[in-house]
Amino acid sequence: MNHLISTSILNADFSNLQKAIEMVNISSADWFHLDIMDGVFVPNISFGPRVVEQINKHATKLLDVHLMIVEPDKYIERFKEAGASYLTVHYEACTHLHRTIQTIKSLGMKAGVALNPHTPVSLLEEIIRDIDMVLIMTVNPGFGGQAFIQHSYDKITRLKLMIRERESPALIEVDGGVDLSNARLLINSGADILVVGSFIFRSTDPLDTITKLKNA
């Protein structure tokens, strides 16, 4: 498959969020990436299901929702109601990960599992066949605009090998420090989906930047 671009709305101008959503709608991006942060699992607070609902009213592309929260099981149904198509939880936040994944899928969503930079991909070996997407964090989660962690390329390659060996349907998504300098390297390493926020919304021409990322 050709790689996908998931545009991180967290980096948009929230004083004119509808304009940002409409820009992504007409762009060559594939998904909206929505980071949900609780100030506990990560040292920042973003927004919750109510804002996701409002974004969903205007978005014409699927919502890729990333829960950076403790006790994500309490909110799975709520984010389904808000419009999530993909719902990603953190390995580090789930005591019973298999059950969490099955709950997400039972509600008709695709289930993703995110790994922080320090978490090895080998921990997913027993569950990789049940996962629709693995999100590799290439920065420490919580804030946009951080520098890309260089050892992430090897981590993505190891994950891709595991997916192939175990015949898993899982896609690999990469989030953190992604721009045109590393997009092709990430794809060559095995990434299927690039999450990009700061690089798009801080550019002088976001539409053109998305097109260049899509064609990387």
- What's the number of CA atoms in the CB half-sphere (13 Å) around residue 88? 28
List residues with catalytic annotation: 35, 175
Question: 199 near 179, Cβ under 8 Å?
Answer: yes
Q: Take residue 1 and report the two structure tokens written for it.
A: 């498959």
- Rounded distance between C-alpha atoms, residue 29 and residue 194, angstroms: 10
Planar angle of CA 181, 182, 186, nearest 5 degrees: 160
- Rounded distance between C-alpha atoms, residue 72 and residue 48, angstroms: 12
- Rounded distance between C-alpha atoms, residue 116 and residue 68, angstroms: 10
Mapped onto helix, strand or coil, the DSSP state of residue 20 is helix
- What's the number of CA atoms in the CB half-sphere (13 Å) around residue 163? 19
- Rounded distance between C-alpha atoms, residue 30 and residue 75, angstroms: 25
Question: 120 near 92, Cβ under 8 Å?
Answer: no
